[in-house]
C-alpha cells in the first residue's frame, strides 16, 4: 500500500503536463484524490526526473518513451488526464496502448486543449525568432514576467519549450476508431485560443463513443494551476460517478453534454 492508501488494485490515473511543464504540476493531487485512485505522473523529456534527456521533436519516440513508462501500470484499470498539450499526448497514448498492448483507458480527461481534429499546422516554432516565441509564451499567461525576462532561465527552458510547441504544431490528425470510455472535458471561459474555435471544446465528442461531460471554469488557459482545487474536484467527482471505487466502469453510463 502506498502513502495515499492506494493498493495494487487501485485505479491508476496517468497525468500529463502542458507544453513546457513537468509532472510536478500534479504534486498536490495525490493528497486530494480518493484513496482508490493512484496518481501516476508521466515525465516528459528534458525536465523533472528527465532533465538530462534531450528534448524530443517527433511523436513516435515520445510515445515509445511514455508507453514504456505506462506498461508496468496497466495490469489493472487505468485512466488518463492531460492539460493542454498533455491532453493531446494523452489521447495518442490511449490509442497507442490500445493498439500495441490491447489495453484501453476506462476514463479520459481532456483539459484546456483543442480537439485533435481541430489542430492547425504550425511548423515555425523551431526556427522563429526568440522574441516572437517569447511573445507567444507571454500571450498564454502561463509564465511570470520575471521568468520571461530571466536570461539564464529562458536559455535553460527554451529548447524543450520549442520542442513541445513543435510537437503540437506538427501533430497530424488521422481518423480512427474512437475510444469507448467516458470523457471529462474542462475549459476556461477566458481561454482566448479556445474561444476562437467555432465548436469550442465540443469537438472532443468525436474521440469517444462513451459519455461526454463538459465543465467550464471562470479562468484563462492555465486554470490547472490557478484553479487547482476545482480541477481536482471535477476529476475526482467524474471518476467517482463513472467508475466504481473498485476501478470498474459504471455498467450503465449515458452520454451527456452538460
Q: Which of 84, 111, 187, 238 is catalytic?
A: 84
Q: What is the DSSP annotation of 155-201?
A: HHHHHHHHHHHHHHHT------PPB-S-EEEEEETT-HHHHTSTTTT
For residue 116, give the C-alpha cell. Answer: 485533435
**Residue 155 located in a structural domain:** no
| Domain around 90 | 11-119+178-242
**Residue 250 located in a structural domain:** no
How wide is the angle at C-alpha 132 spanned by C-alphas 126 and 137, nearest 5°?
A: 85
**Residue 34 located in a structural domain:** yes
Kindly give the parts of the chain with pLDDT less than 70.
1-9, 198, 200, 244-258
**For 147, left (φ over 0), alpha (ψ -120 to 50), or beta?**
alpha
84 annotated active-site:
yes
Cβ atoms within 10 A of the Cβ of 118, count? 17
**Crossing angle, helix 151-169 and helix 85-101, to 10 degrees?**
50
**Residue 236 located in a structural domain:** yes
**Residue 111 located in a structural domain:** yes
**In sequence order, which residues have a C-beta less than 8 Å from that of residue 103 and are 6 or more positions away?**
74, 78, 97
**Residue 184 located in a structural domain:** yes
Predicted local distance difference test score (pLDDT) of residue 38: 96
Q: What is the CATH number of the domain that holds 223?
A: 3.40.50.1820
Q: Let me know if 258 is exposed, middle or buried by CB neighbors in 10 A (0-12, 13-18, 19+).
A: exposed
**Residue 3 located in a structural domain:** no
**Residue 257 located in a structural domain:** no
User: What whole-number distance in Å separates Cα of residue 157 and Cα of residue 243?
Assistant: 38
DSSP H helices, the chain, are 59-70, 85-101, 130-140, 145-148, 151-169, 192-195, 223-226, 228-242
pTM for the full predicted model: 0.90
- Domain total in the chain: 1
User: What whole-number distance in Å separates Cα of residue 213 and Cα of residue 222?
Assistant: 20
Predicted local distance difference test score (pLDDT) of residue 196: 74
Amino acid at each position: 500500500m502506498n502513502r495515499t492508501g492506494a493498493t495494487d488494485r487501485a485505479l491508476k490515473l496517468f497525468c500529463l503536463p502542458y507544453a513546457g511543464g513537468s509532472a510536478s504540476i500534479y504534486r498536490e493531487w495525490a493528497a486530494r484524490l480518493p484513496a482508490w485512485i493512484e496518481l501516476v505522473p508521466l515525465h516528459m523529456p528534458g525536465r523533472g526526473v528527465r532533465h538530462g534527456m534531450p528534448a524530443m521533436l517527433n511523436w513516435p519516440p515520445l510515445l515509445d518513451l511514455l508507453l514504456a513508462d505506462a506498461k508496468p501500470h496497466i495490469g489493472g484499470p487505468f485512466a488518463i488526464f492531460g492539460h493542454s498539450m498533455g491532453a493531446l499526448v494523452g489521447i495518442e497514448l490511449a490509442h497507442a496502448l490500445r493498439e500495441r498492448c490491447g489495453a484501453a483507458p476506462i476514463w479520459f480527461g481532456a483539459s484546456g486543449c483543442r480537439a485533435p481534429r481541430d489542430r492547425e499546422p504550425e511548423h515555425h516554432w523551431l526556427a522563429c525568432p526568440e522574441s516572437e516565441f517569447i511573445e507567444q509564451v507571454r500571450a498564454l499567461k502561463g509564465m511570470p514576467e520575471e521568468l520571461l525576462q530571466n536570461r539564464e532561465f529562458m536559455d535553460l527552458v527554451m529548447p524543450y519549450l520549442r520542442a513541445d510547441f513543435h510537437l503540437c504544431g506538427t501533430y497530424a490528425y488521422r481518423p480512427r476508431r474512437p475510444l469507448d470510455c467516458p470523457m471529462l472535458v474542462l475549459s476556461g471561459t477566458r481561454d482566448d485560443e479556445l474561444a476562437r474555435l467555432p465548436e469550442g471544446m465540443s469537438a472532443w465528442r468525436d474521440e469517444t463513443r462513451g459519455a461526454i461531460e463538459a465543465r467550464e471554469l471562470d479562468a484563462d488557459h492555465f486554470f490547472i494551476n490557478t484553479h487547482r482545487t476545482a480541477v481536482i474536484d471535477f476529476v475526482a467527482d467524474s471518476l467517482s460517478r463513472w467508475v466504481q471505487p473498485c476501478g470498474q466502469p459504471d455498467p450503465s453510463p449515458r452520454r451527456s453534454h452538460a
